[in-house]
């Protein structure tokens, strides 16, 4: 992947070498220690410059394994969570380069950039217009022709781009919305946090009868999935 040759990479590099591969490698080592093994995911994490997705004031913390605020009460997800979600999404997919993925909750666009390194086609929807636009700016310098950003309420999926092989969510609802199940291919998979006070990362497979077969994995903490747009 190319880095933005214009302003930010250079600016940030001068505050302490954030553009260097070493800091990114350290983040990936941490993600590995936490149990993510899929080399396609780890390579993608190594390729995407996370500091380009956070405010310059927070750039020095961009490679810590932690969520950070991105404004509008939202966060950039913890690197481990981005990696784990991508790994779980890949499990069911024979050829990810042929697969179409929907991400609900673009935020600043970081996870979308990681997912677009691994999956053939990525559609990412965000309900807060200012974040949608910011993600577009953040992603401009990276060459990702297979990533499409959509503004709207992702709890309705993205009908015009369906069906999807995989749907991943970065925001937690009480249930998996019906639209997601409808827009998922048979044999496809959803990876989404579910719950309010206590959330679980749920992996759900759409079986031959169109029913969701689900398993809960680990406890997680995501921002809430909200309806409508802002």
| Binding status of residue 119 toward ligand SAH by CB under 6 A | no
| Binding status of residue 141 toward ligand SAH by CB under 6 A | no
Q: Is 77 noted as a catalytic residue in this protein?
A: yes
Q: Which stretch binds ligand SAH (CB under 6 A): 5-13, 19-27, 127-135, 136-144?
A: 127-135
| Binding status of residue 195 toward ligand SAH by CB under 6 A | no
User: Contacting ligand SAH (CB under 6 A), which of 125, 147, 184, 194?
Assistant: 125
User: Contacting ligand SAH (CB under 6 A), which of 12, 23, 45, 75?
Assistant: 75
How many C-beta atoms surround the C-beta of residue 83 within 10 A? Answer: 28
The answer to whether the CB of 186 falls within 8 A of the CB of 206 is: yes
Round to whole Å and give the CA distance between 45 and 184.
26
Q: Is 52 helix (H, G, I), strand (E, B) or coil?
A: helix
Whether the bond into 220 is cis, omega within 30 of 0: no
User: Contacting ligand SAH (CB under 6 A), which of 31, 131, 184, 194?
Assistant: 131
Q: Show the binding pattern over residues 144-183: x = contacts ligand SAH (CB under 6 A), - = does not.
A: ---------xxx--------------xx------------
DSSP string, 165-215: EEEEESEEBSS--HHHHHTEEEEEEEEEEE-SSSEEEEEEEE-TTS-EEEE
Number of residues that bind ligand SAH (CB under 6 A): 24
Catalytic sites, residue numbers: 77
């Amino acid at each position: 992947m190319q880095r933005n040759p214009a302003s930010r990479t250079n600016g940030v590099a001068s505050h302490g070498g954030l553009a260097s591969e070493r800091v990114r490698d350290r983040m990936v080592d941490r993600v590995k220690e936490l149990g993510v093994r899929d080399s396609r995911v780890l390579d993608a994490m190594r390729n995407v410059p996370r500091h380009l997705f956070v405010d310059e004031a927070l750039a020095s913390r961009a490679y810590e394994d932690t969520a950070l605020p991105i404004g509008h009460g939202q966060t950039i997800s913890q690197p481990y969570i981005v990696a784990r979600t991508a790994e779980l999404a890949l499990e069911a997919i024979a050829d990810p380069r042929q697969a179409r993925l929907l991400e609900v909750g673009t935020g600043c666009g970081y996870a979308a950039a990681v997912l677009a390194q691994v999956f053939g086609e990525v559609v990412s929807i965000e309900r807060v217009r200012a974040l949608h636009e910011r993600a577009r700016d953040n992603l401009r310098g990276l060459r990702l022709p297979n990533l499409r950003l959509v503004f709207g309420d992702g709890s309705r999926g993205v009908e015009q781009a369906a069906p999807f092989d995989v749907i991943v969510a970065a925001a937690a609802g009480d249930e998996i919305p019906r639209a997601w199940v409808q827009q998922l291919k048979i044999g496809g998979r959803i990876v989404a946090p579910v719950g309010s006070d206590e959330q679980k990362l749920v992996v759900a497979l759409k079986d031959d009868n169109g029913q969701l077969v689900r398993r809960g994995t680990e406890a997680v903490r995501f921002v809430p999935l909200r309806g409508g747009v802002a």
